[in-house]
Chains A and B, each alone.
Chain A
Amino acid sequence: MYIYDEYDQKIVDQRVAQYRDQTRRYLAGELTDDEFRPLRLQNGLYIQRHAPMLRVAIPYGNLTSRQVRKLAELAAKYDKGYVHFTTRQNVQYNWPALENVPEMLAELASVQMHAIQTSGNCIRNTTSDQFAGVAYDEIVDPRPWCEIIRQWSTFHPEFAHLPRKFKIAVNGAKEDRAAIMVHDIGITVKLNAAGQVGFEIYVGGGLGRTPMIGDLIKPWLEPEHLLTYLDAVLRVYNRYGRRDNKYKARIKILVKAMTPEAFAAKVEQEWAHLKSGPQTLTDEEIARNHRFFTAPAYETLQGDDPSFLAAIEASPAFSRWVDRNVFAHKVPGYAAVTLSLKKHGVPPGDATVEQLEAVAELADRFSFGELRVSHGQNLILADVKESELFALWEEAKRIGFATPNIGLLTDLICCPGGDFCSLANAKSIPVAKAIQERFDELDYLFDLGEIDVNISGCINACGHHHIGNIGILGVDKNNAEFYQITLGGRQGADAQIGKVIGPSFAQEEMADVMSKIIQVFVENREADERFIDTFDRIGADPFKNKVYEGKPAGKAKKEVEA
């Protein structure tokens, strides 16, 4: 875990003072709404449907138990007793009063947290693998590099007012759990044949109105040049990205307009000036950041702990939870545990004050006092001894965080949608709830295997619906809330954007539509195939035919599918 020194603390404290002054001037009428908007957004404050919403950064998803307790305290003091974890490893307060925000930020700063650049047209919170540093399939720990990027991007003076928001994600494992291909910049940290660390740089991925997969523009970048290269990419974007139309302002549009080759060449040209300049990383700085992410004091264990194996034998429920929610650790005898924030009947990603406090206790007791937040809106205890998994499971059950559904249909990713978000076309939480209610039979869910379901309340795609195996998008149809379905999306190294299957559905139809999609899958599934594999094998038509049965408008037409 990165620990602030007096410099980091000073920067965050000065931000609190600056924002306090901005809020004061806004309330005094010295800043207009239009002037204050970009300023408050760069500090994570939205004006939402019912109240402001404050988005707090959790850099690359890492938290200490002390920070979690502070989040809980703020939720009790300034909000309605709960928080919402987002798909970008941030945490949101849905009901703070605008005039209290400076005080909340001051309290966050006291535990080395902030809301800097969690929104607005600037470089956002850098995201990464929730299992960074512990994953069995990790090649290079991405966290020191994330921290280096965090510092570089924090109040970067040249890139404070970009054409549009800018998101960076870093992955260092075989499986890409950070969805780097759908970020403005996606970085893979890797090793070359000589065992040296370097980066692959992808640009121009993104969801939203024009979903795209990133293009590889730099197959190998030496570590010391990371920041000068990023400076070059951002400078090209800052200067040439479109500012006349916000729907065409993301870097992906620029990359596409120039072609990835021409964009890469332009970056190289710019980089030639910056390369080896003062922003070039020193060995000492690289080492300094690595020192914060060393392994905790693991015990030397054999693995396959007998009491753990016996508990699996004895309790089918525990065994099911282990199957779904326990992830293989690189250190023998340890495991990473995902606490599910997807209990049926609870908005996905929400946690109450009591749950947060309890989870902080669990982190202290079982996992060196640290936690992670995942892109899938769950919480992770990354370093739990196998011998303690059963005890942890019992505790997690008590607080409602032990639903054994990670990766399954009800572990759906869902944005706050029309219940909270003023940009929404439709509500997303009631749809999530309807699906969770329909599929609440655990054995059945388990049998269905891995299915990513993603729900967004509008085309901004905060629920990443394009990369869900089943994506659900809220649309507005004659002022009524409707939902469009996409199938075949996926994240990871072979990320793909799902395709729309046809006309949209009313909210009350959604549970039935899901049942029909699942029915087609079950009828066509071979052995233990995953949903996405069945889909790839049989294509979209059987699904279309089923869901649009008796609805002439939507019948699948073979020739339409390219």
Chain B
Amino acid sequence: MSRIIVDKAIVECDAPILRVGEDGSFPAVPASGLVFVSLPQYLAQKAELTARGDVGVWFAPADEPEVLGDEAAGLAYIAVEFPAFTDGRGFSIGRLLRERYGFTGQLRAFGDVFKDTLNYLARCGFNAFVVRADKDIEDAVKGIDDFTEFYQSAVGQPQPLFRRR
């Protein structure tokens, strides 16, 4: 079992990420267990997938939360891929899902995820982190609290410092 961080705790989770095939075909979705399908697959197979339950949707950096819109609020799991930790588009995706489209389920970051971006990710609404396998997850979890005071409005603390100081 792989270990991931959820709400600052280390838990076991092996939810697969299903990718669209090179030929554009959608992979088969396992009958049970948490699984993440790509945004295009979710949009194409919405009816069956929501009936199955336990289905999460994952976003690539260029995917637009606007496509899902308020439907996001009805989902329990969304994941966002960070192909490189320096690709900051996922930060905007997180905030849009949380702040604009009312998503309250688990928001998971996967890909090039390790200690040094967890604080930013958490502030953009992520509460689950699939830390890279070669990194120390016990150490990484501490990164969430690298900073405990912030100037800006963000998820978790919508009031900017100037409204609190």
Give the interface of A toward B (CB within 8 A). Answer: 5, 7, 10-11, 14-15, 17-18, 22, 30-31, 35, 38-39, 121, 151-152, 154-162, 227, 235, 238-239, 243, 273, 277-279, 281-282, 284-285, 288
Contact = CB atoms under 8 A, between A and B. Distances in A.
Given A22-B116, A35-B114, A121-B86, A282 B163 contact: yes
A230 B114 CA distance: 29
Greatest chain B CB density within 10 A among A162, A227, A239, A273 is at A239
Interface string B139-165: 000000011111111100011111101
Contacts of B148: 10, 14
A514 to B, nearest CB: 41
B91 A161 contact: yes
B151 A159 contact: no
26 contacts: A7-B149, A7-B161, A14-B146, A14-B147, A30-B136, A39-B116, A152-B151, A152-B160, A154-B151, A155-B151, A155-B152, A157-B152, A158-B92, A159-B91, A160-B117, A161-B87, A161-B91, A235-B92, A238-B91, A238-B92, A277-B153, A278-B158, A278-B163, A279-B153, A282-B162, A288-B162
A298 to B, nearest CB: 30
Given A160-B120, A161-B87, A282-B163, A155 B92 contact: no
A234 B147 CA distance: 22
Mostly, the B contact residues are loop
A158 B126 CA distance: 12
Interface of B: 85-89, 91-92, 95, 100, 114, 116-117, 119-121, 123-124, 135-136, 146-154, 158-163, 165
Given A5-B165, A158-B124, A281-B162, A10 B149 contact: yes
A18 B147 contact: yes
Contact of B88 (A155, A238, A278): A238
B13 to A, nearest CB: 24
- Please list the 3 inter-chain residue pairs (A to B) with the smallest Cβ-Cβ separation, ordered nearest first: A161-B88, A157-B123, A285-B162
Contact of B120 (A14, A38, A157): A157
Given A151-B151, A238-B92, A279-B153, A18 B146 contact: yes
A161 B124 contact: no
A162 B147 contact: no
A413 B113 CA distance: 41
A516 to B, nearest CB: 46
